[in-house]
A and B are shown apart, each in its own frame.
Chain A
Amino acid sequence: MANLKDLKTRIESVKSTRKITKAMQMVAAAKLRRAQEAAEASRPYGERMAAVLANLAGAAADAADAPKLLAGTGSDQVHLLVVATSERGLCGGFNSSIVKMARLHAQNLQTSGKTVKILTIGKKGREQLRREFAGSMVSHVDLSSVKRLGYNNAQDIARQVLDRFDAGEFDVATIFYNVFQSVVTQIPTARQLIPAEVEDGGESDRPFYEYEPDEEEILTELLPTAMTTQVFTALLENAASEQGARMSAMDNATRNAGEMIEKLTIEFNRSRQAAITNELIEIISGAEAL
């Protein structure tokens, strides 16, 4: 049986761990609310952007000189995977689920003879992917110093992706992130950035639009913006998911710590009682021997 002093220190240490996980859970809950608000606030823009793009793209997609961002380069040999993860750990399966999905995707592409390039956002994803795809990592975006995600963060990332696309470094870009469903469920999602994925609305009842300047010019400006919006949405969804995942992970940890404290306390009491009984037996048998 473990000695009493060891048990006591053990209980104390689990108690302070519980305090920490409890605090982290509450911090995550507060951050989650803010992240959720930010994600919701950006939704109208994203929806409208998709609608405008769908209108324009429907008209322009068939044209022979459609922009490459919409129609693609005509090849799908080189794929860029943008993997968005968190900067910090202790958030359950949040990062692993994204990485798992990205890894599977990358392996599928590689077995079918395609070239895979990986751009990571957040250091947790990079750490996990680096082991397997060391040669494929092309770039990394560090958001650890960003306190509040802004549109400019998304712009920086989108610009980097666009520059690489213009330089002919890849043909298809896909972003991986978690969609926030609830505190307990986050859905790992892959979304194609380039060529732009266009929602298919009812074609017939669409009004006829006038364009100023012409369609092409608007499209060349709209496509990068639409892509930036997708990146921004992904970042915000990811931020909310991260906090949600952390909150439930820390809630579990707090509960586990509580159970452990209970068990250890019972063991401690038993040992103490056993020690007392032992001492009594010794005294009594000593007295009897006299």
Chain B
Amino acid sequence: MADMMQFDLVSPERMLASLQASEIEIPGAEGDFTAMADHATLVTTLRPGILKVKGADGVSEFVVTGGFVEITAGSASVLAEAAVPRADVTRAIADQMIAEAEARVAETNGIARDSADKRLADTRIMVQTLGL
């Protein structure tokens, strides 16, 4: 049995998950990575994507739109801007995520525009992956 680490997923509105996990697949801003116990301490930003957690009772998946992750040797805390269990994501929610990303592109310019563009692209890919 692999070593376990404490995994917490919180969004501003509620706490979505708090469990012991052996592997966490995280969509980081600069690429996906998997965190396991005794990972180096790390803080990174998230891009819109799918977060996978392997716990004692199987794999749970969450759709996140952005936020931060703080990883220490024994724990991983995900501070998501918005997070929804994958099973609960409907076409309507996905469309809304895209619409929000599009709105952000429309209202920004300059350097912020680039990150808004990237965010929109990431959101589109994510929705495609979900295959709704």
Contacts and interface: CB of A to CB of B under 8 A. Distances in A.
Given A48-B70, A49-B79, A213 B45 contact: yes
A168 interface: no
B45 to A, nearest CB: 6
A38 interface: yes
A56 B41 contact: no
Contacts of B11: 45, 151
Contacts of A48: 8, 10, 70, 77, 79
Given A52-B70, A212-B30, A218 B12 contact: no
Nearest to A51: B70
A146 B15 CA distance: 23
B81 interface: yes
Contacts, number: 77
B28 interface: yes
A210 B45 CA distance: 12
A41 interface: yes
Nearest to B13: A151
Interface in B64-114: 67-68, 70, 72, 77, 79, 81-82
Nearest to A215: B43
A41 B12 CA distance: 8
Contacts of A45: 10-12, 15, 79
Given A44-B10, A232-B12, A207 B41 contact: yes
Contacts of A51: 70
Contacts of A271: none
Contacts of A41: 13-15
B44 A211 contact: yes
Interface string A182-213: 00000000000000000000000001111111
Nearest to A148: B13
B12 A151 contact: yes
Contacts of B40: 210
Nearest to B40: A210
A218 B70 contact: no
A150 interface: yes
Interface in A35-88: 38, 41-42, 44-46, 48-49, 51-52, 55-56
Given A41-B13, A211-B42, 18 more contacts: A42-B12, A42-B14, A44-B10, A45-B10, A45-B11, A45-B12, A48-B77, A48-B79, A52-B43, A52-B77, A207-B41, A207-B72, A210-B40, A212-B30, A212-B42, A212-B44, A213-B30, A222-B68
